[in-house]
Structures are given as C-alpha cells and as structure tokens.
C-alpha cells in the first residue's frame, strides 16, 4: 500500500521534471515546423491505482496540470486538459473493462493488464488529452487545421515517448 | 431526500470536474495574453449582439406607443398647418379679418381605426375615440394621404365614420388652381375610383388635374388632397362633365386618422338656417 503511494509520488515528481525541464524544450524553437509538442505527464494520471477515488484522481490531475503550467507559463491550459483526462479516465476504464473485471488492488499498467490493453487505454486517453490541450491552447476554431496538425504530430511523438517510458521503467504499480 | 443525496454523491466526481474545469478556464483567460485577447474580443461580440437583440425586441414592443405619439404629433402639425393657411389667406384681405384669423378654425383629433371595411356598398370605419374626446357628428375625417370619411354617430368613447366608400357620401371638391367645384362620390366598385359631378362644361379640366376639398361644406378644411383626374368625358346633350377621379387615399390600408373639428361650423350653420327660414 505504502509502496504504491511512494511509487506514484516519485512518478509525479519525475514526470514534472522531465516534462518541465526537458520535453518543454523539444520542438520549441522550430520556426518551420511548430507542431511538435511532446506531452508525457498524463502518464501519471493514467497509472494511478484503480481504486483511487474518482474525486482524488481529478484533484491530482488538476494539481499536476497546474504545476506543469507553471513551467510552461501557461496558467490553466495544461490543467484544464489534465482535469478532463482525469475525469474521463473512470468512464474509459468502465468501457474497456476486460472480461474478468479488474483487480482493484492493481494499477492499470502494461505489466498488470497486458501490452495490448494498455496501448488501447493510453492511446485513447492521450489523444483526448491532446485534443483538449490544443483546443484550449488555440482558444478558437479559426485555425482548426493548425490545431489538428498539432494534435496529430504531438500525439505520435508523445506516444513514442510513452513507449520509451514504458520500456525504461515498466511500472507494475 | 436520501435518494437525492445519493445522486449527489454519485455525481460528486462530475461536479468536482465542472468546478476545477471552470477554475482552469478562468485561469487560462486571466493569465494568458493571447487567450485573454480572444476571450475579450468574443465576449464583446457576444454581448454586443445580445444588446442589439435586446434593444431590437424592446423597440418592437415600444412600436405601439411610438405610433400613438407620432399620431399626436401629426394632429398637432395638421392644426398648425390648417390654421397657418387661414391666417395667410386672412392676411391678404383687410386688417379686420385678422381677428377672426387668429382663432384656430380647425382642430384635429387623432384616432385609431379599430374597424374598417371596403368591400360593401356602404362602408364604415369605427374609431377608438368619441364624444369624450371632443368628436361631434358630421365632422370630417382625414388621413395623411387625404380624406377618409365623415363622422356619422358618436358614443362616449367610439365613433362610427361613414367612409368615402359609401354610396351616400358626398364631398365638396374643386379642381386645384382652377376653382370649379363639384361633388365627389364613390362609384361603388373599385375602392380607388370616384366620380366628380357638377363640373360645368366650360371648365378647362384635363386628365391629371388635382382634385382637392373646397372647404365650402365646413366639414373639411380647404385644399386637402382628394385625388387626380383619371378620365374626362361628356354625355351628349349634357352641360356637365363626367370626371373619373383616382383617389389619393388607400382605404384598405389606414390605421390612424384625424378628425376635423370646425369650431365655426355651428355658427355658420345657424346663420344659414336663419336665412333659409326668412326666405320661406
């Protein structure tokens, strides 16, 4: 029990540091191709234990989003996407529940649920997160083409980073 | 109550989501320059649009009052105009005519038409004002376009007007600028076509002449537009023209009218009656 909390706490800080100090700078100065934004921190929301109360998931998402925003100097933009992702997580978990149901003591990780299930789960949540993030970031529908391009490119590269994270840490809980 | 509480607890995640998402968006708008600019612009557009819709709707609701006030203003202007003409004509005479010219001979009372017909032989209008408002029988009724009829009966708050589209309505008319006078009556079919009778055959009347009120009857002030001569012909052996007049008033589309009050009329009529009695 304690180890789960510790693991998540470490993941929280690690992801914030990686997101805020490393990933923020990738693609930042590319004038010709301003569509690349790697967003990795939602992994924290994805990997929260299954029995985390729904309200706590949303609250943690909010806090994490605000901290990331303080790095990006974009108060509220990441937070609104993170709150949405955290909110939609429980619905998605119900929707893609495996045949045998969940073991409530587990976390929704590749090690516990299988690589195929985890890919589906993370791809859907990551895509939704990026859609909300870029919509709030653009804040209008006039340049919807640019927004869609942002979402697509960023989704592909964020998923690649998610795989790298998975390969490096292979988190169980 | 318990069920409601349960529902609330079950929905608590959703409410928290709404709350936090709202906070996020407030933060976004508050602390991000670009989003703030877009938000301000859009909010201005939306509020401007709403304000416009609101004021349009309000104006629409106000239309009736505005019509009423405009009708009042019109009646006032007609008063001024009719009496101005009289003062001007009085001025051409000797100085003593001035005294009577200073009294306004005609006053106008605005009224709303609450009933109207044009498709019978005897058509009537009903007005929303009556004796209480100073309307007396045999007063003329005019619109902005021309003559509408003559008051027939008056009750306290309504009056019935014999429309010009009534077979027995006769209006004393003259040819503008030429002076010959006759009487105008409705032919009974087309609401815009009238007959002008009693114009002698030596009168130089041609198509296109303007027909206006003569003012002889005392019902209407003089030189109110009646219509335009449409056709002129003469029956063989007759001493008078047959003149077809296209009326200037569209009786199928009137909502406000002005009732003419001639304050000298009783005086003039009494005098006339006395003379007639003497002659008998």
Ordered domains of chain A (ranges, CATH):
2-169 (1.10.1760)
Mutate to test the interface with B, among A81, A139, A141, A142 (most CBs of B within 10 A): A139
B236 in reach of chain A (CB within 8 A): no
Minimal Cβ distance to A54: which of B13, B21, B27: B13
pLDDT at B189: 83
Where residue B127 falls (left for φ over 0; alpha for ψ -120 to 50; beta otherwise) is beta
Chain A residues in contact with B11 by the CB 8 A cut-off are none
pLDDT at B224: 85
pLDDT at A127: 96
pLDDT at B103: 57
The candidate with the shortest Cα–Cα distance to A162, out of A21, A52, A68, A23, is A23
Q: Which domain holds residue B235?
A: 105-265
Co-location of B183 and B246 in the same domain: yes
**pLDDT for B81-101, tens place per residue?**
777 666 555 554 444 333 344
Co-location of B50 and B111 in the same domain: no
pLDDT at A153: 93
Position B112 in a domain: yes
Q: Mind listing the pLDDT tens digit of every residue in chain A (173 residues)?
A: 678 889 899 999 999 999 988 888 887 777 778 888 899 999 999 999 998 888 899 999 999 999 999 998 888 899 999 999 999 999 999 998 888 888 888 888 888 888 899 999 999 999 999 999 999 988 888 888 989 999 999 999 999 999 999 889 888 87
Position B204 in a domain: yes
B30 in reach of chain A (CB within 8 A): yes
Q: Which residues of chain B have pLDDT under 70?
A: 84-104
Q: How far is B2 from chain A (nearest CA, A)?
A: 21
Share of chain A above pLDDT 70, in %: 99
Q: Into how many domains does chain B fold?
A: 2
B22 in reach of chain A (CB within 8 A): no
Q: Could you tell me the sign of the dihedral formed by the alpha carbons of B245, B250, B251, B254, in that order?
A: negative
Co-location of B123 and B224 in the same domain: yes
Among residues B42, B58, B74, the one where a domain terminates is B58
Cβ contact B28–A75 (<8 Å): yes
Position B260 in a domain: yes
Neighbours of B205 (CB within 10 A): 20
Position B30 in a domain: yes
pLDDT at B90: 53
Position B88 in a domain: no
CA distance B67 to B201: 45
CATH of the domain at B232: 2.40.10.340
Neighbours of B184 (CB within 10 A): 26
Co-location of B121 and B234 in the same domain: yes
| DSSP-derived secondary structure letter, A28 | T
Co-location of B137 and B259 in the same domain: yes
Q: How far is B48 from chain A (nearest CA, A)?
A: 19
Q: How far is B37 from chain A (nearest CA, A)?
A: 10
Inter-CA distances, A27 with A15, A35, A100, B265, Å: 18, 8, 42, 97
Neighbours of B165 (CB within 10 A): 29
CA distance A47 to A5: 12
Q: Are the C-beta atoms of A8 and A47 separated by less than 8 Å? A: yes
**pLDDT for A101-142, tens place per residue?**
888 888 888 888 888 999 999 999 999 999 999 999 888 888
Chain A residues in contact with B39 by the CB 8 A cut-off are 139
């Amino acid at each position: 029990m304690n180890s789960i909390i510790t693991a998540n706490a470490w993941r929280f800080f690690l992801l914030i540091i990686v997101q805020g100090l490393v990933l923020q700078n990738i693609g930042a100065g590319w004038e010709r191709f301003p569509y690349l934004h790697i967003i990795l921190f939602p992994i924290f929301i994805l990997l929260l234990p299954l029995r985390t109360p729904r309200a706590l998931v949303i609250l943690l998402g909010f806090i994490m989003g605000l901290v990331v925003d303080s790095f990006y100097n974009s108060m509220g933009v990441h937070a609104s996407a993170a709150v949405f992702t955290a909110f939609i997580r429980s619905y998605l978990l119900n929707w893609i529940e495996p045949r045998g149901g969940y073991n409530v003591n587990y976390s929704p990780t590749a090690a516990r649920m299988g690589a195929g299930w985890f890919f589906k789960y993370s791809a859907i949540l990551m895509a939704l997160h990026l859609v909300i993030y870029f919509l709030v970031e653009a804040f209008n529908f006039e340049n919807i083409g640019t927004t869609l391009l942002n979402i697509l490119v960023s989704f592909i590269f964020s998923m690649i980073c998610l795989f790298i994270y998975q390969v490096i840490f292979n988190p169980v809980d | 109550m318990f069920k409601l509480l349960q529902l609330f607890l079950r929905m608590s995640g959703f409410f928290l989501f709404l709350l936090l998402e709202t906070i996020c968006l407030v933060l976004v708008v508050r602390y991000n320059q670009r989003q703030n600019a877009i938000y301000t612009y859009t909010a201005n557009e939306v509020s401007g649009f709403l304000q416009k819709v609101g004021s349009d709707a309000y104006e629409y609701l106000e239309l009736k009052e505005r019509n009423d006030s405009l009708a009042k203003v019109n009646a006032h202007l007609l008063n001024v105009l009719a009496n101005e003409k009289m003062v001007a004509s009085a001025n051409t005479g000797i100085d003593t005519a001035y005294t009577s010219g200073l009294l306004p001979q005609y006053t106008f009372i605005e009224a709303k038409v609450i009933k109207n017909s044009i498709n019978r032989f005897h058509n009537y209008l009903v007005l929303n004002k009556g004796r209480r408002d100073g309307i007396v029988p045999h007063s003329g009724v005019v619109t902005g376009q021309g003559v509408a009829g003559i008051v027939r009966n008056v009750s306290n708050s309504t009056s019935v007007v014999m429309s010009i589209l009534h077979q027995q309505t006769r209006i004393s008319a003259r040819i503008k600028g030429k002076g010959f006078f006759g009487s105008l009556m409705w032919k009974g079919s087309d609401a815009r076509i009238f007959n002008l009778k009693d114009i002698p055959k030596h009168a130089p009347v041609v198509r296109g002449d303007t027909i206006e009120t003569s003012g002889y009857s005392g019902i209407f002030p003089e030189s109110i537009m009646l219509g335009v001569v449409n056709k002129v012909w003469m029956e063989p052996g007759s001493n008078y023209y047959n003149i077809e007049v296209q009326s200037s008033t569209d009786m199928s589309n009137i909502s406000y009218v002005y009732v003419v009050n001639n304050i000298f009329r009783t005086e003039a009529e009494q005098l006339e009656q006395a003379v007639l009695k003497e002659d008998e």
